[in-house]
Amino acid sequence: MTAQSQQAPTGMSREEFELAVGRVVKWILIVFFLVITVFPFYWMLNLAARPFADVLQNPTQLLPDGDQLATIPDTLAAIWEDYSFKIYVGNSLVISVVTVLLTLLMAVPAAYAVTRLDFKLKAAMSWGILLIYMFPAIVLAIPLFVIYTRLGLRGQLFGVIVVYMSQTLPVSLYMLRSYFTTIPVDLEEAALIDGCTRLQTVWRVTIPLSIPAIVTVALYVFMIAWNEFLFALLFLQSTPESWTLPIGLQQLNKAQEVPITYLMAGSLIITVPVILLYLFFERFLTSGLTAGAVKG
Amino acid sequence: MPDPIILNFSLMELVAYVLLWAVLGALPGFYLFYANNRNPRTGASLGVVSGVVIGWALAAFSAELNTQLIVNTTAVMWLITLLLAATMPRGTHNVTVSLQQRIADLAYGLLLPTFLIVFAIIIFPTIWNLVFSLRPIKMRDLADASIFSLEGLTLDNFDRVFSTRGGQFWDIMLTTLVYTFFGSVLAIFLGLVAALVAKDSFPGRGIFRGFMLFPYIAPVISLAFIWEMLLNSRFGFINEIVASLGGTRVDFLTTPGWALLMIILFQGWRYFPFSFLFILARIQAIPDDMYEAAKVDGAAPSERLWFITLPQLRAVFGTLFLLRFIWTFNKFDDVFLLTGGVAGTEVVPVQIYNWLFSRQNVGTASATAIVMAVILFGVVAIYFRWFLVAEEV
């Protein structure tokens, strides 16, 4: 207000002028960002609803009509059965859920050790976590491909799960550690004095208090495993019965005669669960992201 | 009757196999002794010894490395361990060692599984990548056990990386650097603009913020597909708009020049939410007093942005650029799915994949990966130096 009162009374002050321009620019940008983030996803739905012939005739038809929308369940049913998406969804679910459970099983105790216990290699651990976080996946890909081939692990879901664990453990450790440090030590010490062992303390005090962080880590690990492409491609490509959703979809695309409608319906099947999960747990996820959760 | 003499294993394969059993044996040994109040380090050592024995025996009597065998024998081993744990008399380890020692023991026990995974999936393969890069290995050699050996080391693979196809490696490296640099800058720039828009409240700001994350969390495969659809020259929405404005339709993803621009735009679009959240968090931490003071001094909104907000964000820009640079440089899936590396968009990770699967050359693929990692390390080191100097000024 002070600045404005110093301005000459004639016309608009620079402050007022810039604020007015800023408001207009701001709303233009809001629309711009909404279009670039939402429209592609809407278009996926649009193309999954309209038959390809119709897409070719009216490429820019923004709204599918009611009859076309009604075909979506049939399209989904077709790729679910005829293109084996039920198998891919099953594989993706198994891989993601098992990765989440095993990662948590390892990361929670490890994060507790790094936060609360004293040992010689503690400082080295922090550096190690950071280094692995930055490590190029493609450098691991070739030797792992060779080792897996030799061990007969290629084509087995377990092999992929182990790799996903190695990719998500450092991040999970990092996130859990930063949360554990915010829990007052007094609470744990009280439990120890009351006769709990260390492990009982972790189970009864630390874990219940860290549920938000554990949920965040679980969601991130799930999403990483659900979305992962490179390792699944390398290890599962040659065994169709163990394809995950991304690989199933990519291979479907490689088979030339598959209609675009089916490809888009497949994209919906893989995208919608992630979007729903995100919308449901948005608060957890946005805070986790700035804690350095996802690499990519 | 299997031949008791180890014929099917190369020496290195045998060493790796026995090493695996040693580590697997250390785990139950450690926990068994810890649970019974005995010295877990002794338990781990005993576990290593018994693991080596089991590993050697299995290697000697089995015809091939076999996952089923590993799974079965591991299960039996852990079962025996459980039985032993139930029957072994408790020791007096806790009275004989210091509290500090016991805490350290517990810490190592809690970290052992993580160490094991990191060793098996990150450290061990990296060492082998180095070995493979020095040996003339082709895809068909994978059937042969001699793949894990240290014989016939040569630099031919590195020669091939740099020399074949008319020194194309450096072209690809240049493409990778251009893609990485502009992709990172665009991701940060878009993130900055979105953060500036979202910093003050407006109706629907929460929803706006929620939508911003969509490109980042969605699976890359469906994002690449929808871009292909939008950019398609026959029915793509973007091409329709271009045509309706009087332009000519372009095959954006297969035309040299356009294709590189597209993968850069994709990179900026898909990853700006990451910078958006970081920058927004930092902007909201800038104290209001600074703006108030500048306002009193007569600074217009544009000047407050230029002289207060942006300088305050410098450290965030530095960190974001470093992270985005490293991750984009290593990125395989985005380019592979969007263009497949055609029309001048072949980046090094895609080239590595092509060495492996199109040209079936494991050795040269490994060598390319090593060269890529070394160059990335060099660039990051230079950046760190430059960045640290810049921060001191």
How confident is the prediction along chain B (393 residues), in pLDDT tens digits per residue? 343 334 456 677 777 778 888 888 888 888 888 888 888 888 888 888 888 888 888 777 766 666 677 777 778 877 887 787 778 788 887 777 888 888 888 888 888 888 888 888 888 889 889 989 998 888 888 777 667 777 778 888 898 888 866 558 888 999 999 999 999 999 999 999 999 999 888 888 888 998 999 999 999 999 999 999 999 888 889 988 888 888 888 899 999 999 999 999 999 999 999 999 989 989 988 998 999 999 898 888 889 999 999 999 988 898 899 889 999 999 999 999 999 888 889 999 999 999 998 888 999 999 999 999 999 989 888 888 776 545 443
Q: Which residue of B has its CA nearest to A54?
A: B235
- Picking from A16, A47, A70, the residue at the C-terminal end of a domain is A70
Domains in chain A: how many in total?
2
Instruction: Assess whether A65 and A86 both reside in one domain.
Output: no
Instruction: Assess whether A87 and A54 both reside in one domain.
Output: no
**Partners of residue A165 in chain B, C-beta under 8 Å:** 117, 121
Give how far A55 is from chain B: nearest CA, Å. 7
- Picking from A18, A47, A70, the residue at the C-terminal end of a domain is A70
**Partners of residue B329 in chain A, C-beta under 8 Å:** 136
Is residue B113 in a domain? yes
Is residue B306 in a domain? yes
Cβ–Cβ under 8 Å, residues A242 and A236: yes
- Kindly state the tokens that stand for B118: 């990191």
Domain span holding position A35: 2-70
Is residue B3 in a domain? no
Secondary structure element (H or E) that encloses residue A180, with its range: helix A157-180
- Picking from A17, A43, A70, the residue at the C-terminal end of a domain is A70
Instruction: Assess whether A137 and A20 both reside in one domain.
Output: no
Q: Which residue has the tokens 């970290």?
A: B111
- Kindly state the tokens that stand for B251: 């095959």
Domains in chain B: how many in total?
2
- Picking from B97, B117, B147, the residue at the C-terminal end of a domain is B147
Which of B154, B183, B165 lies closest to B268 in space, CA to CA?
A: B183
Question: CB-based contact (8 Å) between B84 and chain A?
Answer: no
Instruction: Assess whether A133 and A237 both reside in one domain.
Output: yes
Tens of pLDDT along B28-82? 888 888 888 888 888 888 888 888 888 888 777 766 666 677 777 778 877 887 7
Cβ–Cβ under 8 Å, residues B119 and B24: no
Question: CB-based contact (8 Å) between A255 and chain B?
Answer: no
Is residue B153 in a domain? no
Instruction: Assess whether B270 and B333 both reside in one domain.
Output: yes
Instruction: Assess whether A248 and A116 both reside in one domain.
Output: yes
Instruction: Assess whether B267 and B348 both reside in one domain.
Output: yes
Partner-chain contact A162 B113, CB within 8 Å: no
Kindly give the residue spans of alpha helices, DSSP state H, lying in A70-182.
72-81, 85-116, 122-134, 137-151, 157-180
**Partners of residue B210 in chain A, C-beta under 8 Å:** 279, 282
Instruction: Assess whether B120 and B173 both reside in one domain.
Output: no
Instruction: Assess whether A36 and A83 both reside in one domain.
Output: no
Cβ–Cβ under 8 Å, residues A246 and B354: no
Instruction: Assess whether B91 and B201 both reside in one domain.
Output: no
Question: CB-based contact (8 Å) between A272 and chain B?
Answer: no
Partner-chain contact A290 B237, CB within 8 Å: no
Cβ–Cβ under 8 Å, residues A170 and A132: yes
Is residue A269 in a domain? yes
- Dist. CA B302–CA B306, nearest whole Å: 6
- Best residue of B20, B70, B94, B122 to probe chain A, by most A CBs closer than 10 Å: B122
Instruction: Assess whether B18 and B110 both reside in one domain.
Output: yes
- Picking from B147, B178, B193, the residue at the C-terminal end of a domain is B147
Cβ–Cβ under 8 Å, residues B294 and B308: yes
Contacts of B226-232 with C-beta under 8 Å, sequence gap 24+, read B226/A40, B226/A41, B226/A43, B226/A44, B226/A264, B226/A267, B227/A40, B227/B253, B227/B262, B227/B266, B227/B338, B228/B253, B228/B338, B229/A43, B229/A44, B229/A47, B229/A260, B229/A264, B230/A40, B230/A43, B231/B262
Partner-chain contact B114 A173, CB within 8 Å: yes
Cβ–Cβ under 8 Å, residues A124 and B316: no
Is residue A296 in a domain? no
Instruction: Assess whether A64 and A107 both reside in one domain.
Output: no
The average confidence (pLDDT) of chain B is: 85
Secondary structure element (H or E) that encloses residue A286, with its range: helix A282-290
- Dist. CA A248–CA B3, nearest whole Å: 42
Give how far A56 is from chain B: nearest CA, Å. 6
How far from B165 is each of A255, B172, B348, CA to CA, in Å? 30, 11, 15
**Partners of residue B331 in chain A, C-beta under 8 Å:** 296
- Dist. CA B13–CA B127, nearest whole Å: 14
Q: In this predicted complex, what is the ipTM?
A: 0.88
Instruction: Assess whether B162 and B96 both reside in one domain.
Output: no
Is residue B84 in a domain? yes
Is residue B4 in a domain? no
Cβ–Cβ under 8 Å, residues B341 and B335: yes
Give how far B104 is from chain A: nearest CA, Å. 5
Instruction: Assess whether B141 and B259 both reside in one domain.
Output: no
Cβ–Cβ under 8 Å, residues B334 and B350: no
What are the 10-residue block averages of pLDDT along chain A, 296 residues in total? 49 85 93 95 92 83 82 88 91 96 94 87 79 83 88 86 92 87 87 86 89 90 94 92 94 83 92 92 73 56
Instruction: Assess whether B135 and B274 both reside in one domain.
Output: no
The answer for A 47-66 residues in CB contact with B (under 8 A) is 47, 55-56, 59-60
- Picking from B101, B128, B147, the residue at the C-terminal end of a domain is B147
Instruction: Assess whether A26 and A152 both reside in one domain.
Output: no
**Partners of residue A146 in chain B, C-beta under 8 Å:** 128, 132, 142, 147, 362
Which of B313, B315, B216, B325 lies closest to B274 in space, CA to CA?
A: B216
Q: Which residue has the tokens 């708009």?
A: B241
DSSP A42: H
Q: What angle do CA B212, B214, B216 make, to 5 degrees?
A: 95
Q: Residue A59: which of B235, B300, B349 has the nearest Cβ? A: B235
**Partners of residue A19 in chain B, C-beta under 8 Å:** 301
Instruction: Assess whether B258 and B321 both reside in one domain.
Output: yes
Is residue B152 in a domain? no
- Dist. CA B357–CA A143, nearest whole Å: 14
Q: How many residues does chain B have?
A: 393
Domain span holding position B352: 158-392
CATH number of the domain encompassing residue B290: 1.10.3720.10
Cβ–Cβ under 8 Å, residues B163 and B156: no
How far from B283 is each of B189, B214, B312, B320, CA to CA, in Å? 14, 22, 8, 14
Is residue A295 in a domain? no
> Which amino acid belongs to residue B259?
A
Question: CB-based contact (8 Å) between B227 and chain A?
Answer: yes
Is residue B1 in a domain? no
Instruction: Assess whether A241 and A105 both reside in one domain.
Output: yes
What is the number of CB-based contacts under 8 A between chain A and chain B? 267
- Dist. CA A228–CA A95, nearest whole Å: 11
Instruction: Assess whether B291 and B374 both reside in one domain.
Output: yes
Instruction: Assess whether B371 and B248 both reside in one domain.
Output: yes
Instruction: Assess whether A272 and A167 both reside in one domain.
Output: yes
Partner-chain contact B235 A56, CB within 8 Å: yes
Angle between helices A85-116 and A211-227 (to 10 degrees): 140
Instruction: Assess whether B111 and B72 both reside in one domain.
Output: yes
Q: Which residue of A has its CA nearest to B367?
A: A139
Q: Which residue has the tokens 């095993």?
A: A102
